[in-house]
Amino acid sequence: MTDRVLRVGIYRPAELPQSFRVYADNVERYFPELGIEAVHFDSKVAIPQTVDVLWDIRSGGGNPPLEFLLDSKIPLVMTVHGFAPISLSGWEYFQTIKGAFLSKKYARDKLKRWEELKEGVAAMIAVSQFTKAETVRLTGVSEHKIVVCHHGVSPEFVVQEPQMPKENYFLHISNNEPRKNVARIVEAFQRLK
């Protein structure tokens, strides 16, 4: 009996945001030891027909599945990173009058696409329990199709310095959007000092 390799077609379009590329790269580096082969593609015409599953890594902002991925008849797995532009108010997310005005249509259009396409997704990976709950609430995708897989931290980022600073500090790693509520975190930190 031979060990069969699982072949995963990973949709990686050229305009993929860096955060999604970093996510995929860090997951993919464990594929060989798990017996998984990654096959990248970047368009409808390039979908590999010899893979066992397609993986769409770019569902941030509540992006629904792309129809051409569903039309391929190869099971589709999606990673959902969040729904902030849909679940937050337009002003809270976009911080502009135009964004606040257009956000309702933006959210409505995305949710309509989810309603039309959700049954075609074989499984979903949510990056947190909160994202899973939002996926169920906003899209109607069955919770049984969704697995939570948190982002990890590689041991290579843990550095033991012989002399760490004595003063209190906190480290904030994310983009500096108002919805991240950094000002309130700093305020709370100041009160704890």
Give me 166's structure tokens: 């004595």
Per DSSP, the three-state class of 67 is helix
- Residue 158: HSE in the Cβ half-sphere, 13 Å Cα cutoff: 4
What pLDDT score does 96 carry? Answer: 84
Q: Sheet of 76-80: strands edge to edge?
A: 36-41, 6-11, 53-59, 76-80, 123-126, 146-148
Residues of the chain scoring pLDDT < 70: 1-2, 157, 159, 161, 164-165
Give me 175's structure tokens: 């983009």
Going along the chain from its start, the domains and CATH numbers come out as 6-154 (3.40.50)
What pLDDT score does 145 carry? Answer: 97
For 5-20, the pLDDT digits (tens) are 999 999 999 998 888 8
User: What residue has token string 């729904």?
Assistant: 83
CA-to-CA separations, 81 to 1, 13, 104, 185, in angstroms, rounded: 39, 17, 20, 22
For 74-111, the pLDDT digits (tens) are 999 999 999 988 888 778 877 888 888 888 888 899 99
As a whole number of angstroms, the distance between CA 2 and CA 84 comes to: 45
The pTM is what? 0.79
What pLDDT score does 137 carry? Answer: 95
As a whole number of angstroms, the distance between CA 14 and CA 68 comes to: 17
Dihedral angle over CA of 168, 174, 176, 181, nearest 10: -70
What pLDDT score does 164 carry? Answer: 67
